[in-house]
Chain A
Amino acid sequence: MTTLKLDQVSKLYPSTSRGGGLTPALRKVSFELQPGEVISLIGESGSGKTTIGKVLLRLTKPTSGTATFDGKDITTYTTRGLKDYYRQVQGVFQDPFSSYNPIYRADRVYDLVRSSYFPKVSDLEWSAKVEAVLDAVALNPGDVLGKYPHQLSGGQQQRLLIARALLLDVKVLIADEIISMLDASTRVDVLNLLVKLKRQGLAILFITHDLSLGNYVSDRTIILRHGAIVEMGATGKIFGNPQHDYTKMLLTAVPELHKKWQHTPLAPVAVSANGAGIAEVLSSNAPASPLARAAIIDELAHAEQVVKRDLRAVFGSARAVASGKSQVAVALEPPALHEFEPDHLVAEPE
């Protein structure tokens, strides 16, 4: 059993604001990815979902906590071991157009795999291998081989990249927003491809902000917010019976074809109302309208960027700065998770 496991992983980035400080991108995230399992990782921008993918692909190191593959800490891999790790764990990213060098033909990405992983394979064997993986992603070799990236559609490019991962002995695929830039008509083909690969035993971490796409492909779902898990478990349970307020809010905001949002007209605003809106909404008990709520989310997101706090106590980092200026800062300790029902964990409200 090859499993990829995150244990209490936190990641702090240096804050972009002047004066330094650290911004928490991940707060003690733990979960496991089993073979043949699709986990969708859902969160809004800034929730830390891409950072998780980066940690797993060793593109960034966690500040604390461990990420293990088959029980071995992935940060300990050096050249040989790392190469072997990438043979088994591969990533595909959001923008296929920037994954290729426009000067070269698109299938150059396959040649690069060949030269570093299969230098001894004969031409004949190699082209048979390439055709097999192209067949697996439902591409016709004649349509795509020898073409330049601009001659291929986004869906074709994205499938070529998935096929590239399949050339290796890949066990885990980190798919970071791989279909958000594709048209609806080609999206589904890529989604169905993921389902097919999963049935063949591939583990997939499907990172997305689109709840309906995540729901379609995944067995388990993790909802992230401000770098912490707020709800996780079997996909059917999370979507069928969401418990955390944030999950509920996300679900009501998803546009559906056959169900209209309930539009509540906004209350008239006095001319003098000078930014008092947010404080009023926060203090009153009345349910906020989606517009007002989005304003609050904006405020929180913005405040997070500028927040400076003393992180020394928690992480023993020497470079932390304290000022405690903002009242809306997220606590570094993630909210505790408790079991709502089997295979359905919910975080305490924050």
Chain B
Amino acid sequence: MSVSVENLSVAYRSRRGDVTAVDNVSFSLADGEIMGLAGESGSGKSTLGNALVYLDARMKTTGGTVTVDGKELPIANNNAMRPRRMTEVSLVPQYAMSALTPTRKIGKLISDLLKSHHVKDRDAVYTELRRRLALIGLKEDVLSKYSFELSGGMRQRVTIIMSTLLNPSLLVADEVTSALDVSSQRAVGEMLIEFRDRGYIKSAITITHDLSILAQIADSIAIMYAGRLAERAPTSALVDSPLHPYTQALLASLPEVGVRHDQVTLTGIPGRPPSLVNPPSGCRFRERCPFAFAKCAQTPPFEEIKPGHLVACWKVSQEHADTAATAPGLPLKEQV
């Protein structure tokens, strides 16, 4: 287990009290695993990703532990986290396109980074840097350029190179493909896979609202809804046989290439996610869920229905229990 997150809760301080944006979330990542984290805006996915690397002043953890490579990560303590960043956990921030300061050249940013992390053998790192730049098709002269002299796709790739330069165990990539054109999206997605295959990063969490990108690059996908995990499964299982009603609705609302309005009418999800200031009790998707029933007033457990496939839904757990009771020993049929 290279990364394990247990019962993590993160809150934002506000004048109306704490707003719990990430509520009791647990998951783990194997070595070499790229996990996709998807959800609507405001679901807490970026907060979860940021909490693993950098808590800004408005955020605080209210519980939970994070372990990377067997060592606990002191995520609540900014000073203790400092030496662990870039080497154990690293972040490609949202809006990475504007994450590079326009007042320093790229090469200067990189030498600052090495200095602040007390890297001794700089020559080795620079050799490796040149190799990686060449690998993804960037010329070495980007080092002597300012960020505004690069195109969006180039800036995004430079940011990823910088974030992964010291071979972190876990890379949190927040919306790395969102602002890019399709061809650059693909290049960046493949770059993540390539970096994982070459061992530059051990595992990664890719945060996006775009499920079709995750279907391409992620090994497993976790769906977040209103601060909690709704479903987590290997990519193919989640895309082909989703169990949680929210995941099903989300997938049904995506137009696929080649689908036209006169052939198939897609449907959105009625309603809005609940406010996190005063979240409703029980299942948080209850209000919008077509299958909701009395039991949904209690919080559903996030339990394993099939190997590696976890769901937080009473309906799914109940059907699972029924099938198991009526047909003991038989392989589970596809449900829903």
Contact = CB atoms under 8 A, between A and B. Distances in A.
B185 interface: yes
Interface string B196-223: 0100000000000111110110000000
Contact of B182 (A216, A235, A254): A254
Interface string A331-342: 000000000000
Interface stretch (A111-119, A167-175, A261-269, A312-320): A261-269
A225 B152 CA distance: 17
A142 to B, nearest CB: 15
Given A185-B269, A192-B261, A302 B151 contact: yes
A255 B266 contact: no
Given A298-B151, A298-B154, A253 B137 contact: no
A209 interface: yes
Interface in B262-292: 265-269, 272
Interface in B122-172: 127, 130-131, 134-141, 149-154
Contact of A291 (B191, B258, B260, B267): B191
Interface string B238-270: 011000000001110111111111000111110
A290 B240 CA distance: 26
Contacts of B213: 255
A269 B135 contact: yes
Given A188-B266, A257-B215, A263 B127 contact: no
Given A258-B215, A291-B191, A187 B131 contact: no
B72 interface: no
B267 A188 contact: yes
A77 B138 CA distance: 49
A132 interface: no
Contact of A297 (B184, B255, B265): B184
B190 A183 contact: no
Contact of B239 (A258, A263, A273): A258
Interface stretch (A28-36, A101-109, A274-282): A274-282
Interface in A224-244: 235-236, 239-240
A200 B193 CA distance: 47
A188 B137 contact: no
B139 to A, nearest CB: 3
Contacts of B191: 291
A261 B212 CA distance: 11
A239 B257 contact: yes
Main secondary structure of the interface of B (DSSP, over half): helix
Given A195-B261, A266-B135, A153 B216 contact: no
B186 A294 contact: yes
A210 to B, nearest CB: 8
Contacts of A217: 261
Contacts of B272: 153
A257 B182 contact: no
B64 interface: no
Interface in A176-193: 183-189, 191-192
A275 to B, nearest CB: 3
Contacts of B187: 290-291, 293-295
A127 interface: no
Main secondary structure of the interface of A (DSSP, over half): helix
B74 interface: no
A256 interface: yes
B304 interface: no
Nearest to B155: A298
B319 interface: no
B134 to A, nearest CB: 4
A191 B256 contact: no
A201 B138 CA distance: 49
A255 B137 contact: no
A184 B137 contact: no
Nearest to B251: A257
Contact of A293 (B140, B141, B183, B257): B183
A145 interface: no
A213 interface: yes
A154 B216 CA distance: 27
Contacts of A136: none
A322 interface: no
A260 interface: yes
A271 interface: yes
Given A255-B210, A269-B131, A302-B151, A183 B140 contact: no
Contact of A263 (B130, B131, B193, B256): B193
B190 A261 contact: yes
Nearest to A295: B137
B134 A256 contact: no
A50 to B, nearest CB: 13
A128 interface: no
B41 interface: yes
Given A258-B239, A271-B127, A265 B135 contact: no
A274 to B, nearest CB: 6
A12 interface: no
Nearest to A194: B261
A297 B261 contact: no
- What 8 A-B pairs are tightest by C-beta distance, nearest first? A295-B137, A275-B139, A294-B187, A44-B181, A185-B269, A255-B212, A216-B255, A188-B268
20 contacts: A44-B181, A184-B210, A189-B268, A191-B255, A192-B261, A192-B268, A211-B257, A212-B256, A215-B259, A249-B183, A256-B215, A261-B190, A263-B193, A269-B135, A271-B130, A274-B140, A275-B134, A277-B139, A292-B137, A294-B183
Interface of A: 44-45, 153-154, 183-189, 191-192, 195, 209-213, 215-217, 235-236, 239-240, 249-251, 253-258, 260-261, 263, 265-266, 268-271, 273-275, 277-278, 281, 289-298, 301-302
Given A188-B268, A255-B213, A258-B239, 20 more contacts: A44-B182, A184-B250, A192-B268, A212-B212, A212-B254, A212-B257, A215-B259, A216-B266, A254-B182, A254-B257, A261-B186, A263-B190, A266-B194, A271-B127, A277-B134, A290-B183, A294-B187, A295-B137, A295-B138, A298-B150
